[in-house]
């Protein structure tokens, strides 16, 4: 059975190896250069005074020389988990049904549950190992830039344990879709729909709410107001003005108050009228905690999908 699984999926293994090798070929030399620049540009001193408006040549070099790589590579990495579901998960069983090989496999001495477990384990392990290696590369690649800008942005999804959990979820969704519709192309379409239906709400609504955001209210005339504001590594979720009665002003109301007022007079006006700035944000040092929680969520969903898949295969008559 091991030999048969290898024969069936050796092209998939070669594809995963090629993606990993090509990604490393691009990221490794680029990351070495970026880390070398980080070390020699004096950005460490800048990080200690960044809240006060310090500027470093590193920031401009990142914007000019490395931001195009970040803007192009990050979307490529973001697409890889769903690609695992479309091109590895969906055909896993759908191809067996289309070609009729499932009848031969289920009529042999090997129980169908063991046959399914072997296929899932072989391909799932490949997806997990490849995506984990890619995640490690991406985490290392982004680390220099992240020390200045933080990790709670678009790059969050391609770093840490969240990335392989997304890939495993997409793979499990594809495998279940193939077992349900039994045709490769419809299974791929269903996989994409399921993946986006889960991934988009998690990324846009749930991710930064997995832990309660920090909320601060600041007097704009306070001498330490700049130090109390969210830093460049934090993810600001909301910002505005709050009235003395605790009501948050809308953006239209804030713009109306600020219209025609000199910039240097604005803090004093807010102080005299009892208005305060409010911020709602996720601190940058919660990156790994948020990563672990999101990975746990997707792994739990993966376990549910695989349980449904195994139950369906076990109960399906030959």
- pLDDT averages per 10-residue partition of the chain, 318 residues: 61 83 87 76 62 55 65 84 93 83 60 80 91 92 77 85 96 94 93 96 93 90 78 87 88 83 82 88 93 97 95 72
Rounded to two decimals, what is the model's pTM? Answer: 0.86
Query: What per-residue confidence (pLDDT) applies to 56?
Result: 57
State the first-to-last Cα distance of the chain, in angstroms, to the nearest integer: 19
Residue 73, phi then psi, degrees to nearest 5: -75, -40
Cα–Cα distance for residue pair 49/273, rounded to 1 Å: 31
Query: What per-residue confidence (pLDDT) applies to 114?
Result: 78
Query: What per-residue confidence (pLDDT) applies to 266?
Result: 82
Query: What per-residue confidence (pLDDT) applies to 306?
Result: 95
Query: What per-residue confidence (pLDDT) applies to 1?
Result: 58
Query: What per-residue confidence (pLDDT) applies to 250?
Result: 86
Query: What per-residue confidence (pLDDT) applies to 282?
Result: 94
- What are residue 241's DSSP bridge partners? 277
Domain boundaries, the chain: 2-210+287-315, 214-285
Cα–Cα distance for residue pair 237/255, rounded to 1 Å: 19
Cα–Cα distance for residue pair 131/125, rounded to 1 Å: 10
């Amino acid at each position: 059975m091991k030999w048969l699984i290898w024969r069936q999926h050796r092209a998939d293994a070669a594809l995963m190896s090629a993606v990993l090798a090509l990604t490393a070929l691009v990221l490794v030399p680029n990351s070495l250069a970026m880390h070398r620049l980080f070390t020699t540009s004096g950005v460490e001193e800048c990080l200690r005074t960044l809240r006060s408006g310090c500027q470093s040549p590193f920031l401009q070099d990142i914007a000019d020389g490395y931001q195009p790589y970040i803007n192009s590579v990050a979307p490529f990495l973001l697409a890889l988990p769903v690609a695992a579901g479309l091109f590895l998960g969906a055909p896993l069983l759908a191809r067996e049904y289309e070609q009729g090989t499932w009848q031969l496999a289920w009529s042999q001495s090997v129980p169908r549950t063991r046959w399914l477990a072997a296929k899932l384990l072989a391909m799932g392990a490949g997806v997990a190992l490849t995506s984990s290696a890619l995640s490690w590369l991406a985490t290392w690649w982004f680390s220099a830039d992240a020390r200045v800008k933080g990790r709670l942005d678009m790059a969050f999804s391609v770093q840490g344990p969240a990335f392989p959990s997304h890939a495993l979820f997409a793979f499990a969704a594809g495998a279940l879709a193939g077992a349900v519709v039994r045709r490769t192309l419809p299974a791929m379409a269903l996989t994409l729909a399921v993946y986006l239906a889960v991934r988009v709400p998690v990324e846009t609504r749930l991710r930064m709410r997995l832990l309660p955001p920090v909320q601060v209210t600041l007097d704009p005339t306070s001498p330490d107001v700049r130090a109390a504001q969210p830093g460049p590594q934090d993810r600001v979720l909301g910002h505005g003005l709050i009235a003395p009665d605790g009501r948050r002003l809308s953006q239209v109301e804030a713009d109306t108050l600020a219209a025609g007022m000199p910039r240097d007079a604005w803090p004093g006006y807010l102080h005299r009228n009892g208005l305060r700035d409010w911020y709602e944000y996720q601190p940058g040092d919660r990156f790994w905690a948020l990563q672990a929680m999101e990975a746990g969520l997707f792994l739990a969903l993966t376990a549910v999908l695989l349980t449904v898949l195994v139950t369906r295969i076990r109960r399906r008559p030959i």
